Structure 1
Amino acid sequence: MWDMSIAQPVDVDRDIVDFAIVGTWMDQQGLPGGEFENVTALGGGTQNIMLRFARGGRDYVLRRGPKHLRAKSNDVIRREARLLGALDGTGVRAPKVIAACPDESVLGAVFYLMEPITGFNPQNELPQLHAGDPEIRRQMGLSAVEAIARLGALDYQTLGLNDYGKPDGFLERQVPRWLGELESYSANAGYPGPEVPGLQQVGDWLDRNRPAQWTPGILHGDCHLANMMFSYDGPEVAAMVDWEMSTIGDPLLDLGWQIATRPEPGTTGAALIGKLGAVGGLPTPEEMIAHYGKFSDRDLGNVTWYTVLACFKLGIVLEGTHARAFAGKAPKQVGDFLHAITLELFERAHRLMD
């Protein structure tokens, strides 16, 4: 029987996180006991729920799927916990998992506990040190490139991640996979279809110019700067977060993703990176590619192709919210905003293809 003597924090819905259940489970893991203190909800780039708290003199962050679980929410959190556990000790800057509960019947959702990250998200915050020095911001961009390069250089098989993804045919699957995703948006009532100039031309170009040789590795999958935490006292990445789209694939797509999402002040897309996107000062794509090469022996001759693929894939992902907005499943303002970014991404893709 669960120990109901543990007080439920007033601001936390018991249907989301029942702290009596979490407390008993933590006791079973041999973690310090006691009351839960300083419970705070943390914001993030996803709908997943994160709560920070202290117990028994130790600080934790609990992460689980949204209140209304989607079809794959539990699998996503289960995969995240597995990957982060495998990355522990590799030197890759990622959250450290303390304990994970892959059994969704315990809390009603899969969850895990991780150590809090000391750092800031540049989408929401830019300390004076970073806001006032363009060289610090340039080094932030280079530190982000180093982080993904070191991730992609790991031997995923040695880490026990052989079955974490399906690398065979990964590049060949990309265009049909995401065109199929785009087609599925027609199920949203009122959505007129994707009004994206040159959509098919980009897909055709990607198929014609696909690299013939590549080496599988760990892919973060959504490594723009808003999914990174940075140190308060310097430009270094403190941790890459939000690993929902991680898999075993071609890690050079992460480099293309960083270049494709590099915020250009004055564009709609810069708003995705918030505070940092508004001031700029980040390294050029050429500097990013050269810096990646310092930490990787991969052939960087096709980075333009990966950047176009990143524009194509992310543009389609963002268009999903635009489609859902027509059906009343997302705010219209958000849908319109993300659709504008989709158009910018495809414009960038066409410039790169020329």
Structure 2
Amino acid sequence: MTNRHDFAGTVPVRAHHQFDQAALERWMEENVAGYAGPLTIDQFKGGQSNPTYRLSTPGRSYVLRRKPSGALLKGGHAVEREARVMAALGQADFPVPYIHGLCTDDSVIGSWFFVMDMIEGRTFWDASFSDVSRHDRAAYMDAMNATLARLHMIDAASIDLSDFGKHGRYVARQVARWSDQYISDDLAGRHPSMDLLINWLPRHLPAAEEVAILHGDFRADNMIFHPSEPRVLAVLDWELSTLGDPLVDLAYHVMMFRMPSDILGGIASLDSAALGLPDEAAYVDAYCRRTGRDGIPNLDFYIAFNMFRFAAILHGIKGRVARGTASNADAHAMGERFARVAELAWAQAKRVG
């Protein structure tokens, strides 16, 4: 079983993710204010979708995030969207790294990429925050909750993101998108639970939806926390960000309460009270207070949808392994978890009815 901590840190750049360092240095000199080499490049162990690198110079460090090479599924690996949304949110003083530049010229390193600040702090690979004291864990959980609520309260138009996604019918479009992606990826195989969900989800769509900026993959290990305080310094990995129903974003995050520990660092099997963690109901109530809601009666549907979507993402990883384009050494194990998540998703759907 792979430990999520195995994703931490860097390794030498993997052979199939190497590129022309001199070309990158020339681009940095022309596009990054204050850049001064020499440059050392390492690859982060994490990054299932888009290869991610640490760029170190004598004076400071940066992060480069790029599209993978090879055949890519339509609409995936959108580093340009990540760069755009983080640059915009930075204007609203939301915790994201500063974006130095986006390159859409494949001739530089072989694919599109962007460069952002390296934020130094702590990363937690499980939602139980087992690396901090029991007394502090609830505060770390609450920091995540407050950050998500703050994101959903930002007016997209005020930071020039009103066209960052379509308005309305977000869940229906997502169900169609991930269903099509699952069906079209023949190399990764099929699963009965996914086939059932593809029929079930369109018949249980929410009657009405709100529109907000969504992160799309909001969880503990996509955040950098202050080195010693329960405070979020940066939210990372915005590849799935868009405009849509904020309850989808919330439910994906709350899904940690219903996932096993080896999938997304879930806490379903843990004794929350004994560990100093809030339970799911209290956590949802805190978000509702922050966003002015009375409650979320259809949370089970949103969680079923999110498990389906995550299963489809894992299915895509299986496909990338089969095609030889997977960017992470743990991609094979992640792909094998696809069947388990598909079964969990169908179990959630049956709770709805």
TM-score grouping bracket, smaller chain normalisation: 0.7 to 0.9
Question: What is the distance in 1 between the residues matched to 2:176 and 2:43?
Answer: 38
- Distance in 2, matches of 1:101 and 1:332, equals 30
TM-aligned CA distance change 1:72 to 1:93, over 3 Å: farther
Q: Residue 115 of structure 1: which of 110, 114, 117 is its match?
A: 117
2:193 maps to which residue?
196
Identify which of structures 1 and 2 has the higher relative contact order when contacts are C-alpha pairs closer than 8 Å and 6+ apart: 2
User: How far did 1:248 drift?
Assistant: 1.0
- Bigger drift between 221-230 and 278-287 goes to 278-287
**Matching of residues 1-354 of structure 1 within 5 Å:** 16-29=18-31, 31-55=33-57, 57-68=59-70, 70-71=72-73, 76-123=78-125, 130-185=130-185, 187-188=186-187, 191=189, 193-196=190-193, 200=196, 203-204=199-200, 206-262=201-257, 267=260, 270-274=261-265, 281=275, 282-297=277-292, 300-301=295-296, 302-322=298-318, 333-351=333-351, 353=352
TM-score normalised by the chain length of structure 2 = 0.79
SS in 2 for 1:109: coil
- Measured in 1, the distance between the counterparts of 2:267 and 2:227 equals 14
Q: CA deviation at 1:277?
A: 8.3
- How far apart are 1:227 and its partner, in Å? 2.2
Q: Which amino acid aligns with 1:45?
A: G
Q: Distance in 2 between matches of 1:149 and 1:328?
A: 38
Work out the CA distance in 2 between the residues paired with 1:59 and 1:93.
Answer: 18
Distance 1:121 1:346, change over 3 A: farther
- Equivalent residue, structure 2, for 1:3: none
SS of structure 2 residue aligned to 1:294: helix
Q: Specify whether residues 342 and 218 from structure 1 end up closer, same or farther in structure 2 by C-alpha distance, changes over 3 A only.
A: same
Q: 1:55 to 1:184 in 2, by over 3 A?
A: same
Residue deviations 1:253-281, cap 9 Å, x none? 110101123365xx3xx213449888764
**Which residue does 1:4 correspond to in 2?**
none
TM-score of the aligned structures, taking structure 1 as reference length:
0.79
Which AA in structure 2 matches 1:134?
R
Change (3 A) 1:163 1:172: same
Asked whether the equivalents of residues 167 and 216 of structure 1 are also in contact (C-alpha less than 8 Å), the reply is yes
| Deviation of 1:82 (Å) | 0.9
Identity %: 28
Aligned length: 333
* SS at 2:291 equivalent: coil
Larger Rg: 1
* Structure 1 Cα separation of the partners of residues 266 and 131 of structure 2: 9
- Post-superposition Cα deviations, 1:290-343, rounded to whole Å, max 9, x if no partner, equal 111233235643333322221222233323445677888877654333322332
Structure 1 counterpart of 2:7: none
How far apart are residue 166 of structure 1 and its match?
Answer: 1.4
